[in-house]
Structure 1
Amino acid sequence: MRTTIRELVEDAVRTLADTGTVIGPRPDAEALAAHLFGTGLAQLEWDGVPGDGEAERYLELVARRVAGVPLGHLTGVAELAGVEVAVGPGVFVPRVQSEAVVADGLVALKGIRRPLVVDLCAGSAAMALAVAHQLPQATVHAVDCDPVALEFARRNSALRAALGDTPIELHQGDVTEPGLLAELAGTVDLVLTNPPFMPDEAEVPAEFGVYQPRQAVFGGPDGLHVIRHAVRTAAALLRPGGTLVVEHGHLHAAAVPDLLGADPRFTEVTGHLDQYGWPLYATAVRGRTEAATSS
């Protein structure tokens, strides 16, 4: 009796779970099947028997996922907060955990009629496009220094605009350089950022240490090099009362809130956990410095 698609997927779920590094074994196994058979998940013929070579191709995809190849590099797409973006080798594949970063940012924008938003270290622009999708009245800027990431961001921006979303504005720029987006200084309502935050010598799964672009993962000896610059840039861009949401991962549960708390320009510093209870991101509000109060 030949193996059905359902049986193939169930075997793949067990195989992926055994790695201990794949966060969503079932979603990944199902996404690979939908990709291979060229259909949506709901349209998969679960009790159907794969055609010649299809089972072997599926097992090859699963084996590559076990080896650490990001799911998005295998399927060519990733989804974040209801928005699908193109991804591939050379650009960071957004993690589902980042949906919480976007959600908190959207909460901060409630009641603002025409918010101004900046996504620093934007990569594929997934977070920026998710905000533009949810808030068509927003003006959203996305910044990255890597030309490969920006090319993906341009493709994704054009696709989302063709689907009816408000276009975003893309910039090639380095968050470590002073004066980034100086024309927006003091006017931004929300800064989102998912900068590289792993220490250079940290041991990470192959998905992040081998297949994801190094410059999007590792952030200097302590992992805070880019974050420090992102905090400085955000403080310059935000208006008084504007919000910063910075993803920082579990190693910086104290370091990033402490960094924000030590900056007199920020107040209301709060650390946040992901859905699994691990430290994920921090939020802060741009306070009114003496200069801002007197102006």
Structure 2
Amino acid sequence: MSVRSQAERLLQSATQELTTAGVPSPRVDAELLLSHVTGVPRGMLTTRAHPHEMQRRTYLEMIAARARRVPLQHITGSAAFRYVDLEVGPGVFVPRPETEELAGWAIERAMTVDAPVVVDLCTGSGAIALSVVHEVPQARVHAVELDASAHGWAERNLLGTGVDLRLGDAFEAFGDLDGAVDVVVCNPPYIPLDAWESVAPEARDHDPSLALWSGDDGLDAMRALELVAWRLLRPGGVVGAEHADAQGESAPAVFVPRWRDVRDHADLSGRPRYVTATHP
């Protein structure tokens, strides 16, 4: 069997298995996993990948796990986020590409301040906090996570960065920073409790429940965030928070009564994705 046909046959079989399982991007996932196993870049798999028997078995096990809708990043153990790579696995929310835009906003705002103080609430894997300290090295970054397992992943990812990582309730944390913060950023839980069936199995069955559900309308955490950001931010400080695409009006409405410059922002696909506001 030629090198090309061996890789192609593996990919074709894997793609069919993932398609049958309802995986949204079966060919891409099949290629990413084969690349992960063999170390050959995706674009060269059919010409250069020549997996030996142990690699083939490992690959088939990974495809079977992905067919069970285990997140791709849990299988590979890593997730790319902006310019950093994060260790992820069972017990931590996998950072999404959409959240990179919220992180970018926080980074841009932090860059306008000398020695900015940035707080990342509900940090999960530490994705936003790590991106901020990576791209704004002069920032003093603080992060908090309530779930002990997710906090453990954040510890791995933030080790040696200087980020002040704490274990605790995001909406009660950082009393020592009241009125001294320049940027508060948060990717809170925002899925309504009755939306169970609409959530992808990768999130519903594998992400921590604390990272997903937020009351009957999905805005319980947003309301709590509004209170804590008001307490933490200095006058003129800013807050940014991700929300569901169906919350493009309801999420900003949480901030309208006492904040200024309340704006909602779309993601790259044009869907409402995050709200920002300024402490008066």
TM-score scaled by length of structure 2: 0.89
Percentage of pairs with the same residue: 38
The aligned amino acid for 2:143 is A
Q: Which residue number corresponds to residue 196 of structure 1? A: 189
Contact 2:241–2:276 at 8 Å: present in 1 too? yes
My pick for the range that moved more, 202-211 or 13-22, is: 13-22
Instruction: Give how far 1:10 is off.
Output: 6.0
**Distance between the aligned counterparts of 2:230 and 2:16, measured in 1?**
46
Q: 2: distance between equivalents of 1:281 and 1:31? A: 29
Deviation (angstroms), 1:89: 0.5
Task: Name the residue aligned to 2:138.
Answer: 137
CA distance in 1, matches of 2:23, 2:262: 31
8 Å Cα contact 2:32/2:42 also seen in 1:
no
Residue aligning to 2:203? 208
CA deviation profile, 1:17-45 (whole Å, cap 9, x unmatched):
676663x55553333123222x2637965
CA contact under 8 A between 1:175 and 1:226: conserved in structure 2? Answer: no
Instruction: Report how far residue 16 of structure 1 moved.
Output: 4.8
Aligned equivalents of 1:196, 1:121: Cα separation in 2: 8
Q: Indicate if the aligned counterparts of 2:191 and 2:214 stay in contact, CA closer than 8 A.
A: yes
* Aligned mates of 1:258, 1:191 — CA distance in 2: 18
Identify the range of structure 1 (26-35 vs 138-147) with the bigger mean alpha-carbon deviation. Answer: 26-35
Q: Distance in 2 between matches of 1:42 and 1:167?
A: 35
Q: 1:40 to 1:95 in 2, by over 3 A?
A: farther
Q: Distance in 2 between matches of 1:6 and 1:171?
A: 47
Map 1:160-199 onto structure 2 (within 5 A). Answer: 161=160, 166-177=161-172, 180-199=173-192
1:281 aligns to what?
Answer: 274
Amino acid of the structure 1 residue aligned with 2:59: Y
Q: Distance in 1 between matches of 2:273 and 2:27?
A: 23
Residue 268 (structure 1) aligned with residue 261 (structure 2): yes
- Using the TM superposition, give the Cα deviation of residue 196 of structure 1 relative to its aligned residue in structure 2, in angstroms: 0.8
Alignment partner, residue 239 of structure 2: 244
- Which residue in the other structure is 1:72 paired with? 73
Structure 1 residue 283: deviation in Å?
1.0
For 2:6 and 2:71, the matched residues in 1 are separated by 25
- Look up the equivalent residue of 1:188 and give its one-letter code: V
Decide whether the 8 Å contact of 1:72 with 1:93 is kept in 2. yes
Q: Which secondary structure state, in structure 1, belongs to the residue aligned with residue 107 of structure 2?
A: helix
Q: Closer, same or farther in 2 for the Cα pair 1:167/1:6, shift >3 Å?
A: farther
| Contact 2:110-2:139 at 8 Å conserved across structures | no
Partner of 1:292: none
Corresponding position: 1:148 with 2:141: no
d(CA) in 2 for partners of 1:152, 1:207:
18
C-alpha distance in structure 2 between counterparts of 1:208 and 1:109, whole Å: 30
Pairwise CA distance, 1:259: 0.9
Distance in 2, matches of 1:25 and 1:275, equals 22
Residue 225 of structure 1 aligns with an amino acid whose one-letter code is D
Relative distance call for 1:278 and 1:13 in structure 2 (3 A) is: farther
Compared CA separation, residues 254 and 10, structure 1 to 2 (3 A): farther
Aligned to 1:102: 103
Query: CA shift at 1:280, angstroms?
Result: 1.3
Count of aligned pairs between the two proteins: 275
Measured after TM superposition, the shift of residue 168 of structure 1 is 0.5
Q: Please give the TM-score of this superposition, normalised by the length of structure 1.
A: 0.85
Which secondary structure does the structure 2 equivalent of 1:4 belong to?
Answer: helix
Q: What is the identity, as a one-letter code, of the residue corresponding to 2:215?
A: G
For residue 90 of structure 1, report the CA deviation from its aligned partner: 0.7
- 1:88 and 2:83 aligned: no
| Correspondence for 2:122 | 121
Query: Measured at CA, do residues 147 and 6 of structure 1 come closer, stay the same or move farther in structure 2, by a change above 3 Å?
Result: same
- Aligned residues: CA RMSD: 2.3
The DSSP-based 3-state class of the residue aligned with 1:61 is helix
Question: Aligned equivalents of 1:210 and 1:153: distance in 2?
Answer: 21
Distance 1:243 1:46 in 2: 49
The more displaced of 183-192 and 5-14 is 5-14
TM-superposed deviation, 1:13: 5.4
Aligned to 1:291: none
Q: Tell whether the 8 Å contact from 1:175 to 1:229 is kept in structure 2 after alignment.
A: no
Deviation of 1:228 (Å): 1.2
